[in-house]
């Protein structure tokens, strides 16, 4: 498959944003938490409140961007391809590295005392059920796998659907992303109740909506480059401002918060995050290069391995920039993310030189 230059840029950008999110989380950890945000959050001061809101809020497009890139390339699957050949090709690429890193996150932290043998044993015993204790970032793999599983199901419809039909689906998806706010303000809506979580638009919600949106942009969106620039910039600004403010207005310093409450607007399937993601993706589609620079192509190729391993590196740079050097938050967060990014690239690059490395880093 010929490389699509702007998608390589998107992958690299999204990979860095993931690390920026997790660097930021270290500045609103509840007492006793390590590395990544838990059920409760605590901001020490107004400075942390401001810069966490800005850096982390803007970066919340990272996961949806990865979803859109996958959908842009894979949906619909080729007409001559069978469901099983599609699954075999996709899952032989992503599952071996995924399980290897599940094992590593369940065992390696024993060496530096971050987990005890009881936690390691529990993580290993549940490895077929969920991600390990110290690998919360691997939650992403499950919805990604779910999206891959569904691509053969939706592919026949995508091949035949008109622009209006897909546009209607995207409209219902965007309406479904308002549900978290409706629940906050009005309680259960559209059939939700304690015995039924599946509201009227549930079948149009979640990451499937990003999949259809990606296909719509690729196949049906005929806007000129200036139009995509204008609309993309407007959507990005509105989405970013909304996402940033949604956290800032709630995250009062010195108070122990419920993380799901203050992160309501940071959920990946909220209307503001959809606007931020779609707008940014439209901006990237304006890149006219036929081939990406060698470094971007290399980073893009290694981005999966970088994502899998980055939590191993994160703690080191947090200890340096936040604790040992005590840099101000405005500088510490991007320094942690950038150092983590470079470390992961160097590590995956070295691993890629070893025969059979695709089974470890994809």
pLDDT reading at 35 higher than 90: no
Cα–Cα distance measured from residue 118 to residue 196, given in angstroms and rounded to the nearest whole number: 36
Please give the Cα distance from 252 to 254 (Å, whole number).
7
pLDDT at 222: 93
| pLDDT > 80? residue 32 | no
Is residue 290 very low, low, confident or very high in pLDDT (cuts 50, 70, 90)? confident
Q: According to the model, what pLDDT value does residue 289 have?
A: 87
- pLDDT tens-digit readout, 237-276: 999 999 999 999 999 999 999 999 999 999 999 999 999 9
Bridge partner list, 40: 258
Whole-number pLDDT of residue 104: 96
Q: What pLDDT is attached to residue 264? A: 93
Mean pLDDT for 124-136 is: 94
Is the pLDDT confidence value at 33 over 80? Answer: no
pLDDT of residue 1: 58
pTM: 0.94
Diameter of the chain by CA atoms?
Answer: 59
Flag whether pLDDT at 175 surpasses 80.
yes
pLDDT value, residue 322: 94
Cβ atoms within 10 Å, residue 291 = 12
Report how far residue 59's alpha carbon sits from residue 15's, in angstroms, rounded to the nearest whole number.
10
- Does residue 136 have a pLDDT over 70? yes
pLDDT for the residue numbered 74: 93
Residue 37 — very low, low, confident or very high, per pLDDT cuts 50/70/90?
Answer: confident
Q: Which residues neighbour 121 within 8 Å (Cβ) at sequence distance 6 or greater?
A: none
Cβ neighbours, 10 Å, residue 82: 11
* CA pair distance 8, 342, nearest whole angstrom: 17
What is the tens place of the pLDDT at every residue in 50-91? Answer: 999 999 999 999 999 999 999 999 999 998 999 999 999 999
What string of DSSP letters covers 266-319? GSTTSHHHHHHHHHHHHHHTT---SS--HHHHHHHHHHHHHHHHHHHHHHHHHI
């Amino acid at each position: 498959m010929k490389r699509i230059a702007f998608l390589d840029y998107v992958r690299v950008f999204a990979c860095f944003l993931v690390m920026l999110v997790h660097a930021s989380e270290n500045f609103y950890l509840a007492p006793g938490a390590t590395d990544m945000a838990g059920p409760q959050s605590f901001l020490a001061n107004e400075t942390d409140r401001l810069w966490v809101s800005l850096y982390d809020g803007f970066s919340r497009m990272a996961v949806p961007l990865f979803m859109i890139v996958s959908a842009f390339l894979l949906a619909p699957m080729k007409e001559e391809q069978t469901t099983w050949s599609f699954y075999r090709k996709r899952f032989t690429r992503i599952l071996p590295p995924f399980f290897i890193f599940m094992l590593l996150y369940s065992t390696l932290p024993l060496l530096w005392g971050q987990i005890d043998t009881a936690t390691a044993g529990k993580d290993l015993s549940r490895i077929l059920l969920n991600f390990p204790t110290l690998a919360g970032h691997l939650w992403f793999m499950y919805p990604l796998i779910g999206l891959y599983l569904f691509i053969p199901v939706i592919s026949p419809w995508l091949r035949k659907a008109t622009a209006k039909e897909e546009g209607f689906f995207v409209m219902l998806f965007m309406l479904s992303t308002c549900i978290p706010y409706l629940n906050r303000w009005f309680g259960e809506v559209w059939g939700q109740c304690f015995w039924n979580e599946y509201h009227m638009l549930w079948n149009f919600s979640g990451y499937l909506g990003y999949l259809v949106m990606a296909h719509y942009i690729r196949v049906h969106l005929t806007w000129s480059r200036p139009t995509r620039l204008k609309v993309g910039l407007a959507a990005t600004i509105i989405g970013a401002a909304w996402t940033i403010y949604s956290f800032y207005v709630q995250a009062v310093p010195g108070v122990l918060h419920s993380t799901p409450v203050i992160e309501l607007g940071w959920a990946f399937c909220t209307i503001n995050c959809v606007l931020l993601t779609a707008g940014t993706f439209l901006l990237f589609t304006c890149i006219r290069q036929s081939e990406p620079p060698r470094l971007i192509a290399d980073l893009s190729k290694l981005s999966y391995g970088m994502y899998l391993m980055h939590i191993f590196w994160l703690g080191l740079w947090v200890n340096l920039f936040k604790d040992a050097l005590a840099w101000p938050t405005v500088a510490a967060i991007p320094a942690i993310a950038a150092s983590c990014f470079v470390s992961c690239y160097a590590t995956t690059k070295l691993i890629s030189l070893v025969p059979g490395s695709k089974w470890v880093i994809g």
